[in-house]
Chains A and B, each alone.
Chain A
Amino acid sequence: MEPIEKFLEVWRHRHDYARDWKARTGGKVVGYFCTYVPEEILYTADILPVRILGGHEPPNLASPHVFDMWCPFCRDCLSQGLAEKYDYLDGIMIAQSCLHVRQAFGAWEIHIPTPWKYYLCMPNAVRSPRAKPFLAGELASFKEAVEEWTGKPITDEALDKGIEIMNTNRRLMKQVYEFRKEDIPPVIGTEAMMMVWASQLMDKREHNELLKQFVEELPNRKLERDPGIRLMIVGSENDDRPFMEMVESIGGIFVIEDHCTGSRYFWDEVVPGEDRISAIANRYCDRIPCPSKDWGATDWQRKRFPHILNLAREYRAEGVILTQQKFCDPHECDIPSLRRYLEDNGLPCYFLEFEVTVPVGQFRIRVEAFLEQIRAEELFV
């Protein structure tokens, strides 16, 4: 099976994959909300971290627990849990992030039987000099909790192994992304994101093997398509494959993105250090932040904006689609400023609000108009 086919299969049949993994390895599976969860420590203990994602189905089961002003993603995730789709989980955890996802975790803790639960108090002020030592303390407590749960001590060697698994995964995905800079990228945006989605769902050691194969194949991979208009997509959680495919079927190609289901997830590595826990803490404080944590302790400027602009330039994006999950406050706070920032730097933007299911027909018309706008600008340059 080709790596891309395998990524698609894991994404489609994520629960079967996790059940099968448990049967094969006898290991524990922990579901996690938010990409601030330090997967390094879970891998250290031979635990499979699986990101809780929605099912893109109406989140009816969540309605008695979370009312409708909360983001569709958190309601969808909770609904999937209440529907017992994640009944194989041995544990569930969250790293402190936005209120929406915390809302889903809060209800999950009460209503969905899961043997082990953990709330990791990830600092909000990640750019404060006080955040890294505080997080290191939180991670040390987390490590102890995992040791107690599994009954196995976590050694420095094991931490090195966990860090290496994660860093290899990040490095290989970045290598794949390098190919997206080409004039005719051999990998389209939907495929690239599917690769990232799969990495959040499957054992990274297996994912790494697929990535190595993929990196080897890419120089010879030719796509039978006009590359189209090079786009960047930016926003909150996005695993909406029908939307991505639709845009890439009407003359656009996503060459880069900034999503927690995309580059933001893996862009930064752990820089190894003598104190492994501090090294991991540094990585999670220094990573490209989620907007919910993107404010300085002593200045208001956002770290994410110049990073997004740099990505857009490096990957030669001609336009940016800004998306957000409806009701996502952190992104809603950033989007008016981000739009101005990108447009002032010559990048046309188009904004779309996502729900659990997106109206692909309507969005198609709107994106077509945006692509025409970009083409028209090219004509008159």
Chain B
Amino acid sequence: MAETKYHTKGLECWDKAKELRTKYYKDYAKAHDRGALRWEGGAWSFDALPQALEGEVHPLTEEPYGASVGADPETQVRYQEAAEGKWGCARDLCAYLRSYWGSIILDEYFFGGKWPKADFIFQNHICCSHGKWLQVVAELEGGQIPYFCFDVGAGPYDKIGERQINYVVEQLYDGIEFLEKTTGRKIVDEKLIQNVYNTYRSACYWSKVCELNQAIPAPLDEKSMYSLYVLGTLQKSSQEIADFYVELYEEVKERVANQIAAVGNERCRVLGDSQPPWGFLRILRYMEEYGIVSIGSLYTFSLIGWWQIDDDGNLVPYPTLEDQGITIKDREHALRLLAEGELRGKLMWAPFYGAKFKNELVKKIARQWKCDAAMIHLNRGCEGTAMHQMELKIALAETGLPVMTYEGNMADEREFDEARDMRLIDLFLTETMGLKKLAD
């Protein structure tokens, strides 16, 4: 192998990320053996609440589960065919949702054993499918499972005032009432407060990590970032996970200081959009042969990361509670801060309110992260993250950025034509970008 332009090496905390993820799925499966509770919800659920119940509690978030299944196309097809064939759902529904339903129908847990039924559902809703997804799960699991669903569709980040925050805070109180009534356990305020601190650290430190990727060379490539942000989608309120993001931040800061690159021969920085086709992440490694580093996307940055726009119009990480000098006083204060952070900081929700929001945010990313091109995965598997993708293409192209789109599905291999899309990528990189593969 020829010498690379920049020094490169793997992340030291990589194995820890993998261990945390493995433990999470194992803990959920074995929870009942230890007298612990299990609950199902979305990656955006307010996990700080059920995790504040007395005793041991373990969550299973549905989207990361669907993504894990999606990375194994053979199993994914089997699960989805069960949902389509045995339950009768449409093939164009959310790919994660179909894998999840199929998994229940086949009574199979992707991480081994039979499907571990939850004790209750604690969902949140912003895209069309979320409340409905676990509604059907409740049916599939016999119709007796207690169900709670929040609405966080209170408006875009720049319209969040007291009324919008109150709307969510009041629902959080309802959620506490539901949890206590359903489980017979009490919410422990000390745990709740700590969970809110942890949620802030997970969300804000992930944003700080992403911000570091503005450096040239980029210390992280998007394929690796997928394995890192996922922890925040599993249980952002956990102490271990919040600590992991602080540790990761320190390590990535070191990489930037020492010019340690994710891609040794970085010479072109691209921007993505939406989830990738999980079963085919090798396309990202293939692009590295051209010296390309995918630096991230609105999706990767803000699925769990919280952001704000500063006075200069730049995207900057949302401040941690420590940065804001805030000490949480009590339950009310904790719930209010939780709602405020999610509604004001989670810019991933902005596209739900219009293409103009997504366009403006992604144009900022393109400029601040010094992108040379954008490669948009038209994701047939997720309506939420695929909102306004064609508008985004137009908006980015108008800034002079070369943009390509390729159609696929994050977690349905039957909708991803790998050979065709690789050909499209080759054409874009060679003909539009004028790049050649680097010599070995």
* B154–A121 touching, CB < 8 Å: yes
Interface size on A, residues (CB 8 A): 48
* B147–A65 touching, CB < 8 Å: no
Contact of B149 among A98, A296, A336, A339 (CB under 8 A): A296
Interface string of A196-222 (1 = CB under 8 A from B): 000000000000000000000000000
Identify the closest chain A residue to B131 (Cβ): A295
Grouping DSSP codes into helix (H, G, I), strand (E, B) and loop, the B interface class, with mixed when no group exceeds half, is mixed
* B384–A99 touching, CB < 8 Å: yes
Q: Give A64-116 interface residues, CB cut-off 8 Å to B.
A: 64-67, 69-70, 96, 98-100, 102-103, 105-107, 109-110
* A300–B356 touching, CB < 8 Å: no
Q: Which A residues contact B (CB, under 8 angstroms)?
A: 64-67, 69-70, 96, 98-100, 102-103, 105-107, 109-110, 119, 121, 123-125, 128-131, 134, 137, 291-292, 295-300, 302, 326-327, 329-330, 332-337, 339
Query: Which of B146, B174, B359 neighbours the largest number of chain A CB atoms within 10 Å of its CB?
Result: B174
Q: Which residues of B contact A291 (CB under 8 A)?
A: 132
* B383–A100 touching, CB < 8 Å: yes
B355 CB-CB contact with A under 8 Å: yes
Please, could you name 19 A-B residue pairs with CB atoms under 8 Å apart, sorted by A? A64-B390, A98-B128, A99-B383, A100-B128, A103-B387, A106-B356, A106-B387, A121-B153, A121-B155, A125-B151, A137-B163, A295-B131, A296-B149, A326-B92, A327-B92, A329-B129, A329-B132, A332-B90, A333-B128
B31 CB-CB contact with A under 8 Å: no
Alpha-carbon distance between A296 and B134 when the two chains are bound, in angstroms:
11
Q: Which residues of A contact B390 (CB under 8 A)?
A: 64-67, 107
Contact of A300 among B87, B128, B147, B352 (CB under 8 A): B147
Q: Which residues of A contact B391 (CB under 8 A)?
A: 65, 106-107, 110
Q: Which residues of A contact B87 (CB under 8 A)?
A: 336
Q: Which residues of A contact B356 (CB under 8 A)?
A: 106, 109-110
Alpha-carbon distance between A287 and B384 when the two chains are bound, in angstroms:
26
Q: Which residues of A contact B121 (CB under 8 A)?
A: 300
* A128–B163 touching, CB < 8 Å: no
Identify the closest chain B residue to A290 (Cβ): B128
Q: Which B residues contact A (CB, under 8 angstroms)?
A: 87-90, 92-94, 121, 125-129, 131-136, 138-139, 143, 145-151, 153-155, 159, 163, 167, 170-171, 174, 178, 352-356, 359, 378, 380, 383-384, 386-391, 394, 407
Q: Which residues of B contact A327 (CB under 8 A)?
A: 92
Alpha-carbon distance between A283 and B352 when the two chains are bound, in angstroms:
25
Alpha-carbon distance between A67 and B143 when the two chains are bound, in angstroms:
36
Q: Which residues of A contact B352 (CB under 8 A)?
A: 99, 102
* B138–A300 touching, CB < 8 Å: yes
Q: Which residues of B contact A339 (CB under 8 A)?
A: 88
Alpha-carbon distance between A93 and B174 when the two chains are bound, in angstroms:
32
* A69–B151 touching, CB < 8 Å: no
Identify the closest chain B residue to A324 (Cβ): B90
Alpha-carbon distance between A66 and B390 when the two chains are bound, in angstroms:
6
Alpha-carbon distance between A137 and B166 when the two chains are bound, in angstroms:
11
* B125–A124 touching, CB < 8 Å: yes
Q: Which residues of A contact B383 (CB under 8 A)?
A: 69-70, 99-100, 329
Contact of A99 among B89, B127, B136, B394 (CB under 8 A): B127
Q: Which residues of A contact B145 (CB under 8 A)?
A: 300
